[in-house]
Amino acid sequence: MSTVITPPPLPSVPTDKTVKAKQADPPEVTLMQLTAIDEADSLGLPIPCRAFDPEVFFAETPADVEYAKSLCGTCPVKAACLTGAVERREPWGVWGGELFVQGVIVARKRPRGRPRKTEVMA
């Protein structure tokens, strides 16, 4: 007697059509973020805002803000985080690799005090 052994079915890989269909449906922002973070957690992907102290992402000095933005560079949920922050008009902090001040994305944080009148020699 010969026994035929069939391997288990492979998990389905999303096609371009299913990916576009998922992108076309705009889910609620908070649900989208939670789903993205949960999926990243279940896959074991590192999420910087969960691995580092949250105070890093609400820093006061320009150097610390740039450091927080650099941490977001490798985050797997960066796009969902930024989309959610824009939708909610986050008052301040680093979200999705961008700095928010009064609900608006700002290119960089200026240091405290008046700007210098002359250039500083490096």
Q: Which residues are annotated as a binding site for [4Fe-4S] cluster?
A: 49, 72, 75, 81
Which two structure tokens, joined as six digits, stand for 20?
């576009």
| Sheet order of strands, 98-101 included | 92-95, 98-101, 104-106
Identify any residues that bridge with 94 across adjacent strands, giving them in sequence order. 99
CA distance 48 to 57: 10
Answer yes or no: are the C-beta atoms of 92 and 85 closer than 8 Å. no
Query: What's the length of the chain?
Result: 122
Answer yes or no: are the C-beta atoms of 105 and 75 closer than 8 Å. no
- From the annotation, which residues make up the binding site? 49, 72, 75, 81
CA distance 50 to 73: 14
